[in-house]
Amino acid sequence: MTARAVLAFVRLGRPLFLGGGFILYAIGAAVAAATGHAIAWHRYALGQLCVTSFQLMTHYANDYFDLETDRANTTPTAWSGGSRVLLDGALSPRVALVAALVLAGIGGVSSFVLGRALATLAAIAVLAWSYSAPPLRLCARGLGEVTTALVVTVLVPLLGFQLQAPDWRGLPLLALSIAPLALLQFAMLVAIEFPDAAGDAATGKRTLVVQLGTRRAATLYILTTLGAFALAPAAYSLGLPGLTAIAIAVPAPLAMWRIARLDVTAYDTLTFWGVALLVLTSACVLGSWLMNSSTLASS
């Protein structure tokens, strides 16, 4: 395989999106550590291998199963419209399918070796595959947004937590921490669907933006983003540590600024900030739980 083909294969996996899987998984483990559980690093590493394998599986599968939709998309961005590698002819579509299947196998074997949280791992694998693959093809039914939010911002941190806290002590704190992130993940998916909407509609891919139309989808994006940051004081009142509640609220001014300047036709800006708000808020939450560890673990 030539260097050009290797680079194309890496691009096909869309590595820019992998960071979220590391951060969200770490949040689960950090909450476990902060609530008095010792971290078993071998389990942590093996769990991360499962998460990254299934995430890459999704990326390669999505480019394969969305090939016709991506071909109809004339307004792709760095965050939407697929990797464009298959459209450029740099690799055969079969390469993407084989890579997805191999990664599914790696994730499955790693899950078996791990031998814990198998129900959570199975849910991650099945939902991630079904996102773009038939027969369910959830992304074409207006269910892809909820599915992605469930997998990335609920099941992945739950896995990180479960592997370190088999007694489930601290689970309510994890739930309060990730609820705003789930809303931001949902909003991000809506944001990156705007540039794809025309191509999606032309090929029968009925995302929420296609089903709702531009105006109502923009309203949904705004309300979901506002709701995410409005959860911070509510979560604090339910027992979330103050430091984490503040961490969730830190990016709120940036979100308000973006909403005030919202232009759903400015595709590059819209998609970048949709991704950035989720990653920034998730990183703030992770940082807060790392800082919480010494105080909560000793209480």
pLDDT tens sequence across 107-163: 999 999 999 999 999 999 999 999 999 999 999 999 999 999 999 999 999 999 999
pLDDT at 296 over 70: no
Ranges of beta strands (E only) in 135-213 are none
The letter for the amino acid at 219 is T
Instruction: Give, rounded to a whole angstrom, the gap between the first and last alpha carbons of the chain.
Output: 56
Q: What is the tens place of the pLDDT at every residue in 240-288?
A: 999 999 999 999 999 999 999 999 999 999 999 999 999 999 999 999 9
- Cis previous bond, 135, omega within 30: yes
What is residue 297's predicted lDDT score, i.e. its pLDDT?
46
Of the given ranges (18-32, 131-145, 189-203, 282-296), which has the lowest mean pLDDT?
A: 282-296
Q: Exposed, middle or buried: residue 152 (CB in 10 Å: 0-12, 13-18, 19+)?
A: buried
Is 70 exceeded by the pLDDT of residue 295? Answer: no
Q: What is the mean pLDDT of residues 26-31?
A: 98
Provide the percentage of residues in the chain whose pLDDT is more than 70.
98
Q: Where are the domains of the chain?
A: 7-297
| Residue 293: band (very low, low, confident or very high) from pLDDT cuts 50, 70, 90 | confident
Helices (H), 66-164: 67-72, 93-114, 118-132, 144-150, 156-162
pLDDT tier, 294 (very low <50, low <70, confident <90, very high otherwise): low
pLDDT band at 1 (very low <50, low <70, confident <90, very high): low
Residue 83: which of 10, 150, 179 has the closest Cα? 10
* Distance separating alpha carbons of residues 173 and 170, to the nearest angstrom: 5
**Alpha-carbon gap, residue 240 to 72, rounded angstroms:** 46
- pLDDT single digits (tens) 34-47: 999 999 999 999 99
The answer to whether 37 touches 165, Cβ cutoff 8 Å, is yes
Q: How far apart are CA 213 and CA 211, in angstroms?
A: 6
Whole-angstrom Cα distance, residue 32 to residue 214? 41
| pLDDT above 80 (res 28) | yes
Is 58 in contact with 131 (CB distance < 8 Å)? yes
| pLDDT in the model for residue 299 | 47
